[in-house]
Structure 1
Amino acid sequence: MADKLLQTPAMHARAVPFSRPPTPGVHPLQIGFCGLGAMGYLMARNLANSRKSHSSPLLVYNRTVAKSQKLLAEVGASAVKVADTLDQLATECDVIFTNLANDAVVMSVYDEFAKALAQTPPTKVKIFVDTSTVYPTLAGDLDRLLSSFPHAHFVTSPIFGPPPAADSANLVIAMSGDYRSKKEVAFLLVPAVGRKVIDLGGNVEKAPTLKLIGNGMIMGANELLAETLTFGEKSGIGQQIVYDLIKEIMPAPGLVAYGNKMVNDLFDGSVGFAIDGGIKDSNHIRRLSAEMNCPMPAIDNAHRSMISARAMHQAQMVSATQQWDILDWSAMIASSRVAAGLNAFDSRKGTGVVRED
């Protein structure tokens, strides 16, 4: 990450579409972070490490305290302090980041923030930044909730990239909301957490909309990838040869990464993107596309594949034969494999393919 911190001003200007905010005063900003899941943990760690030279460590909260303690042990007390409650984040921090699993959890956390603000109204600017993937209208609800308190601002800032991109601080960050708040947040996140900010204006619903569009593109591509690799295996060519061809003619990072998972049956969702999250996103995309009268059949197909793969995995869990406790969304290929008469999660078993020289 050291090379990122040494970017030239011109490089940084291309990454952040805002001028630099004013130099902080005598008291540096107190930053908080809520949600230490597969993505949030890595984001919080990188943010904490980037601020080690500041006097205030990152204040973190997670429902499972063990994850907060793990982060504290990894980066040290000079970089991280564990919060006991959500109220502590809301009242003590100037900027509060959230990265949470779904809309219901996001709403419950922000309700807790609102209760804390009602008890202790802010006396200076306080910025709440949600980096989760949510339905766009929820962002509007949160904005209205927080704007009822003096000095409180809300920014939507969903992120693009898998856990390895979060680990290397190489995320792409969409951002919408109050302009001055976005400027402050953008320079906290780049290059500490991500490599680029995409500004979508003042309407807080725009960034979540772009996030769903982007995730839709990824899951649609994954569905085509799954069908193509399965077809390659069933035809006798073999999925590995088809995957090698993809790397030659369409070497997009997403296709290469997810193709590798599919070919090698790397379906552990604890180190990837859990299929429940993919199904949540596909439900959001299908709802939004229906409201806008904009059909997306590729998403319908991907949704069905993920539902089928999850059902097969749940059946394995009932019989205690599952290999992974959490299934990665790349396991959607299981649906194509079963439809073609192949093994769902183990591509080495029962292909029935005879390759002729």
Structure 2
Amino acid sequence: MAENRLQTPAPNAGAVPFSRPSTPATHTLQIGFCGLGAMGYFMARNLASSRKSHSLPVLVYNRSVAKSQKLLAEVGASAVKVADSLEQVATECDVIFTNLANDAVVSSIYNEFAKALAQSPPTRAKIFVEMSTVYPTLAGDLDRLLSSNPHTHLVTSPIFGPPALADAGKLVIAMSGDYRSKKEVAFLLVPAVGRKVIDLGGNVEKAPTLKLIGNGMIMGANELLAETLTFGEKSGIGQQTVYELIKEVMPSPGFIFYGNKMVNDLFDGSQGFAIDGGIKDANHARRLSAELNCPMPAVDNAFRSLIGARAMYQAQGLAGTQRWDVLDWSALIASSRVAAGLNPFDSAQGTGVVRDD
């Protein structure tokens, strides 16, 4: 009987490349989450909901308190508590997740964490989990900043997937850093937040590097997708017909997801990935490729298209004709459309494809 139990696969076997951590004997983990943006909100919500019945409420912090209050209203006080300050999160929590907009914000937040820890040094293990898309060397800087405090570790853990997958708890999670800390974090995140962890070892710069590689692949694929759909429209075949072909011969989730956005002009960045974030990631990927002497022309092309699309949208803002507050990075198709003589953001004002039946 005991032998059969030993042979039974553990829950999420294969999704988490670590053995399960030992159960804390002295206290229940206090979890904190900073950054409730398009991705962070869903991750914090799912994490809090998964722990609602058997642990302390997740302590959440966001620069805009309204988002914290919205999350509290959605999941209830038994799952979420709103933090008054970053100092409270840093000192009261055992595991602190951060998902922030860019490197400058990450640096600012972590400097505030470090200041709080210097004033109140930890007496037990404390793990910071940085989930943003940052330049890899920043991760090393954060690790050095935090490691001056006793019992403190950094795990870099960027995530792959659009907001819809964050909502569904189906993200793919990269992870690098201290092994024991990764074990603790991985079993908090899977299956609550993500479906799989990819372990990149002990060097905290490796997970952010994989994130840039992955985002570079996605933006390069989006550039190809944009050019292909525009080519189809200008040829008289029609972008919808080309999109149907793509779904048949190259049915990857990314092509299907972003192709649908492009074909239907779904460029609301508040429901997706803001174009400024895409430009930031493209800059990081291009910088890293230059440092490694590894050309990425697909990323270079996507970067130009993203810059062009943003410039056109800013011009619409000056004219008072903008349709969305934030532009999605799938709107890079605007550059291909304009180069082909089409309307950048409204495909209904295209070539007026007429079938030759």
State the TM-score bracket (shorter-chain normalisation): over 0.9
Aligned partner of 1:4 in structure 2 is none
Aligned partner of 1:161 in structure 2 is 161
Give, in angstroms, the shift of residue 12 of structure 1: 1.3
**Equivalent residue of 1:13, what SS?**
coil
CA separation in 2, counterparts of 1:198 and 1:263?
A: 33
- Segments of 5+ residues of structure 2 without an aligned counterpart are 1-7
Give, in angstroms, the shift of residue 102 of structure 1: 0.2
**Equivalent residue of 1:155, what SS?**
strand
CA deviation map 1:295-347 (0-9, x unaligned): 00000000000000000000111111000110000000000000000000000
Counterpart check, 1:331 vs 2:342: no
Aligned partner of 1:265 in structure 2 is 265
Give, in angstroms, the shift of residue 25 of structure 1: 1.8
- In the superposition, the TM-score normalised over structure 1's length comes to 0.97
Aligned partner of 1:215 in structure 2 is 215
Aligned partner of 1:5 in structure 2 is none
Counterpart check, 1:170 vs 2:170: yes
Aligned partner letter, 1:310: R
Give, in angstroms, the shift of residue 265 of structure 1: 0.3
CA separation in 2, counterparts of 1:13 and 1:115?
A: 39
- Equivalent residues of 1:233, 1:239 under 8 A apart: yes
CA separation in 2, counterparts of 1:268 and 1:200?
A: 33
**Equivalent residue of 1:12, what SS?**
coil
Aligned partner letter, 2:49: N
**Equivalent residue of 2:59, what SS?**
strand
- Equivalent residues of 1:28, 1:54 under 8 A apart: no
**Equivalent residue of 1:41, what SS?**
helix
- After TM superposition, the structure 1 = structure 2 runs for residues 1-357 of structure 1, keeping only pairs within 5 Å, are 9-10=9-10, 12-351=12-351, 353-357=353-357
Give, in angstroms, the shift of residue 40 of structure 1: 0.1
CA separation in 1, counterparts of 2:21 and 2:355?
A: 63
Give, in angstroms, the shift of residue 55 of structure 1: 3.4
CA separation in 2, counterparts of 1:352 and 1:294?
A: 42
**Equivalent residue of 1:348, what SS?**
helix
- Segments of 5+ residues of structure 1 without an aligned counterpart are 1-7
**Equivalent residue of 1:231, what SS?**
helix
Report % sequence identity: 83
Following superposition, which runs of at least 4 residues in structure 1 exceed 6 angstroms of deviation?
Answer: none
CA separation in 1, counterparts of 2:9 and 2:133?
A: 31
CA separation in 2, counterparts of 1:121 and 1:191?
A: 32
CA separation in 2, counterparts of 1:28 and 1:20?
A: 16
CA separation in 2, counterparts of 1:235 and 1:350?
A: 11
CA separation in 1, counterparts of 2:174 and 2:282?
A: 19
- Equivalent residues of 2:233, 2:350 under 8 A apart: no
Give, in angstroms, the shift of residue 350 of structure 1: 3.9
Cα root mean square deviation, aligned:
0.9
CA separation in 2, counterparts of 1:101 and 1:222?
A: 21
- Equivalent residues of 2:29, 2:55 under 8 A apart: no
**How many residue pairs end up in the alignment?**
350
- Equivalent residues of 1:163, 1:272 under 8 A apart: yes
CA separation in 1, counterparts of 2:350 and 2:191?
A: 47
Aligned partner letter, 2:262: M
Give, in angstroms, the shift of residue 9 of structure 1: 3.5
Aligned partner letter, 2:79: A
**Equivalent residue of 1:356, what SS?**
coil
